[in-house]
Amino acid sequence: MSTRYSNTLRKTLPLAKSAPIVLLGLIVAAFLAAPVYAGYGIVESATTVTGFAQASDSDPEANLPFLFAVYILTWAGFFGYAFYMSRRQRDMRRDIEALRKALREREDKDDASSQEESR
């Protein structure tokens, strides 16, 4: 017997729904890792193109836009996750209420049939 909850669960489990979050995390990680690798000289050619090496050596405030970008992305991710969880919680409450209603109806039906049998 398949309930509405199990159908909803099957629909929400695929990785496709979490793919944008994973992709965003990978992009943020790449931005955070680029200055680290630039310090070791691993991606030296990339830093000369983007200007990481020159900006970080001469002016520490030159990286503030990256700090603000990560800050905004972090808060956007947090609020997106909070919104996603609130929607799932609302759906879960609806499913629980539907199960309670179905259980009450089943108990009422069983009580009515047992009263008819006792007559």
User: For 76-105, how does the pLDDT look when each residue is reduced to its tens digit (9 = 90+)?
Assistant: 999 999 999 999 999 999 999 999 999 999
If one compares 119 and 16, the residue with the highest pLDDT of the two is: 119
pLDDT > 70? residue 7: no
pLDDT at 63: 87
Q: Which residue range forms the structural domain that includes residue 53?
A: 4-10+17-118
State the CB neighbour count (10 A cutoff) for residue 47.
20
Q: How many folded domains does the chain comprise?
A: 1
CA–CA distance, 48 with 54 (Å, rounded to integer): 8
User: For 22-38, how does the pLDDT look when each residue is reduced to its tens digit (9 = 90+)?
Assistant: 777 767 777 776 665 55
CA–CA distance, 34 with 42 (Å, rounded to integer): 10
Q: Phi and psi at residue 2, in whole multiples of 5°? A: -100, 125
* Confidence band for 60, pLDDT divided at 50, 70 and 90: confident
Q: How far is CA 90 from CA 10, 38, 77, 96, in A?
A: 17, 46, 20, 10
Q: pTM for the whole thing?
A: 0.46
Average pLDDT, the chain: 77
If one compares 99 and 16, the residue with the highest pLDDT of the two is: 99
If one compares 117 and 34, the residue with the highest pLDDT of the two is: 117
